Amino acid sequence: MPKIKLFEFLKKESKFGLFTKFSLIISIFVLSVLVIILRINLEFYRKQLEDLLLQENKVLASYLVREISTGFSSGQTPWLSFQELIASKNILFWSIVKPDGTIFMSSEKENWGKKIQAHFPTRETIIKDSVSPLTHERIKLIISPLKIDSDYWSLYLGTSLTPILEAEDYLFKQFKYVYIFGVFFSLVLSFFLSFFFIRPIVTLTQTVKELTQSLDFTKKVKVTSKDEIGTLAQSFNQLFDKLKESFEKLTLAKRRAENLSERFKLLLESIGDGVYVVDREKKLILFNRAAEQISGWWTKEVLRKPCWEVFKMTNSQGTFSVCEKACPVEEVFRTKKVVPLGNDVCLTHKTGKKIPVADSAAPLLDSRGNLWGAIVVFRDVSKAKEVEKMKTEFISLASHQLRTPITIIKWAIELLSASLGGRLEKSEAQRLKEINQGVERMVSLIDELLDISRLEEGRLVFKFTPLDLEKEIQSVISEYKNLAEAKKMKVSFLKEGIIPKIMVDSLKIRQVISILLDNAIKYSLPSREIKIKLSLKEKEVLFQIEDQGIGIPLHQQHLIFTKFFRAENISVVDTEGTGLGLYLAKGIIEAHGGRMWFKSDEGKGTTFYFTLPLKRERERERV
C-alpha cells in the first residue's frame, strides 16, 4: 500500500476499528525495522567478504610478482607460477604488460603482443572495477608493479566476484527465513500490544455508545489496570455518576417546567385580554385564545411569523401606520421598558375590519437582564370607545346647553354689581364676588369641556402662525406673577441657544404653558422655586418645567393624562380642579406633532416636558 494511501486509510473512519489499525501500524513498524536490520547486515557481510577476497588476491599478486621477477632475472619463465594462477578458481585471467601497454604474456595466447588502450602503469598495487572480456561479468582488476631490469612492468589479475555473490545468495536465503519468522513475530507482537492497549479503549467506547443510546447511567466501565487507561476508566465512571445525578435533576426540572407550562397555558387561555409573545427575532411564539378572537387569526396560522405581518395597527382614520412609525414592540426592544399603546390605535382584523385596541407591551428578560423577547397584552375597546363617544357627545351637548344660561347669569351678576355699586354692604359685596368667581370657574370648565369634545371629534380649529416661544413663556410667567408671589415662590426661566420662531397655534400653546405653570404653582409647597427651561434638540424645541411639589404617586403615574383624573395626594393641597387640564394639554401638543411626558418622585417634585417640531410637514388648519 503506498505511503499516502496508507495514511488516508489510517485517518478516515471505516469499518476497520482502532484495534485493526493499531495492529497494522505495529506490524508495519516491526517489519520495516527488520528489513532495515537485514539490509544493513547483508551489506556488512558482503563488504567483509569482498575485502577478504581482495586482500587474499593482493597477497597472491605480491607473491607472483616476486616469483616472476626472480624468474626473469635468472632467465627462466615462471610457468609453474602461471599454472598456479590458472588453477586459482577466483582468477579469471592474467596478463604481463610492458611499460608501453603491450601485452607480453597472457592467459589468453591470442592477446599476446596486443596493446592495452587503458593502461595504468604504476609503482604500487591498485584495485579497479572492471568487466571480464570473456564472461562480461563484473570483476575486480588488481594491477601490481613488476620490475624487470630497470623498467616497471605491470601484472594484471582479473579477480572473479562469484564467491562473494554465492555467499551473498546464501546469506539472503538465511535471512529470508529470519524475515518470515520476523513477520510471524510482528503479527503476534502487534496482536498482543493491540489487545493490551486498545482493547480497554474499545470497551470504553462501546460502553459510552451504549450509554448514549439507552441513557442507562448505571453502566460502569470495568477497571482492569492501575495505569493511565485504568485512571481514564475511573474518570468515566465518576463522570457517569455525575451525569446520572444531573440527568435526574433535569428530568425533575423538565416535569416541573411541563407542569408550569401547562398551568401557564391554562392561565393565558382564561385571560380575557389578548396576549401574544415574540422572540428576539420578533416572531410570534405564543398566541392565546382571546388574541384569536380579537384578531381573527388562528394560532397555527401565525406561529413563527413576524408580528408585523399579523398585527397591522393604524390610527382610527387609517392614515398612520403604528407598526412602521411607533411600533410598541420595537420601542420595547429599544428601551427595555413597558410601552403603552396609544389612545388612537386600531388593529386590522383578518377580514380587514378596524378594531380599536388598548393596553401595553413589556420586555421579557432573563435572570441576567438580557432581553429575549416581548409580551403584548391588548383588548378590544370598541364598546368603551362607543361609551366614550356617547359621553363626549353628552358633554358637548350639555356644555353647549349650559353655556347660554351661564353667560346670562354672568351678565346679570355684572349688571347687578354695576347698578348697585356702593350701596351693597361689605358682606353682600363679598357674596356677589364669590358668586362671580364660581360662574368664572363654570365658564372655564365649560370651555375646557368644549375644547376636549372638539379635540376628540377632530373639530378643534388650529390657526398656525409664527410664534416666538421665548416671549410667550415670559408673558405667561408675568401673568402668574401675583399667584406665585402669594405663595412666596420664585419662577426662573432659562433659554439655551437661539430658538427660532415656530409655526404653531399661539393661543393653544399659551393654554398648554398656562396649564403646566398653574399646576406647578398650585401643587408646590410655599417658598419653593419653579424652573422653566427652553432648549433646542435636533429638529425639535424642548420645553420643560420643574417644580418642588408633592409629586405623583408611582402607582398612579400611568393615569396622569386621562380625563378627570386627580392623584390621591392632591386633596391635601387643593380640593378644586377638574382633572382635564393635562389631558387637554397633551392632546394639543400631539396635534402639533409633538410629544409630552413627565418624571416624578412623590414628595420631591415633578418635571413635565413637551416638544414641538421646528418645521411642519405641511401648513394646514386642523378641523
Q: What pLDDT, on the 0 to 100 scale, is given for residue 221? A: 66
Q: What pLDDT, on the 0 to 100 scale, is given for residue 618? A: 46
d(CA 409, CA 403): 10
Q: What pLDDT, on the 0 to 100 scale, is given for residue 81? A: 57
CATH class, 461-623 region? alpha beta
Q: What pLDDT, on the 0 to 100 scale, is given for residue 610? A: 95
What is the helix (H) or strand (E) element at residue 27, kind and residue range?
Answer: helix 18-74
3-class secondary-structure state, position 484? helix
How far CA 561 is from CA of 189, 331, 584, 586, 603, in Å, comes to: 91, 20, 8, 7, 20
CB 93 within 8 A of CB 143: no
Mean residue pLDDT of the chain comes to: 77
CATH number belonging to the domain at 1-214, selected among 3.20.20.150, 3.20.20.220, 3.30.450.20, 3.40.47.10: 3.30.450.20
d(CA 264, CA 267): 5
Strands 151-160 and 91-97: antiparallel
Residue 412 pLDDT class (50, 70, 90 cuts)? confident
**pTM (2 d.p.):** 0.43
Of 595, 622, 619, the closest CA to residue 608 belongs to: 595
Of 577, 573, 576, the closest CA to residue 603 belongs to: 573
Amino acid letter for position 554: L
- Taking residues 414-430, report their average pLDDT: 72
Residue 530 pLDDT class (50, 70, 90 cuts)? very high
The string over 560-586, giving b where at least 16 C-beta atoms fall within 10 Å of a residue's C-beta and e elsewhere, is bbebeebbebbeeeeeebeebbbbbbb
3-class secondary-structure state, position 14? coil
Q: How is 70-124 classified by DSSP, letter by letter?
A: HHHHHT---HHHHHHHHH-TTEEEEEEE-TTSBEEEESSGGGTT-B-SS----SS
Q: What pLDDT, on the 0 to 100 scale, is given for residue 166? A: 72
3-class secondary-structure state, position 311? coil
d(CA 317, CA 342): 14
Which three three-digit cell numbers place residue 622? 386642523
3-class secondary-structure state, position 16? coil
Least confident piece of the model among 129-138, 315-324, 421-430: 315-324
CATH number belonging to the domain at 271-380, selected among 2.40.30.70, 3.30.450.20, 3.30.1540.20, 1.10.10.10: 3.30.450.20
Same fold: 1-214 with 461-623: no
Task: Name which residue leads in pLDDT, 17 or 276.
Answer: 276
d(CA 411, CA 415): 6
Residue 398 pLDDT class (50, 70, 90 cuts)? low
d(CA 564, CA 582): 10
Cell 615462471 sits on residue: 78
Strands 490-495 and 529-537: parallel
Of 520, 534, 521, the closest CA to residue 484 belongs to: 521
Least confident piece of the model among 1-15, 44-58, 140-154, 528-542: 1-15
pLDDT at 50 over 60: yes
pLDDT at 109 over 80: no
pLDDT at 456 over 80: no
Q: What pLDDT, on the 0 to 100 scale, is given for residue 474? A: 93
Q: For the chain, what are the domain ranges?
A: 1-214, 217-252, 271-380, 461-623
Reported as a single tens digit per residue, the pLDDT across 300-344 is 888 888 888 888 877 665 555 656 556 788 888 888 888 887 667
- Taking residues 270-274, report their average pLDDT: 82
Residue 600 pLDDT class (50, 70, 90 cuts)? very high
Reported as a single tens digit per residue, the pLDDT across 2-38 is 444 544 544 444 444 555 666 667 667 767 777 777 7
- Taking residues 395-401, report their average pLDDT: 61
Least confident piece of the model among 422-426, 430-434, 492-496, 570-574: 570-574
Residue 413 pLDDT class (50, 70, 90 cuts)? confident
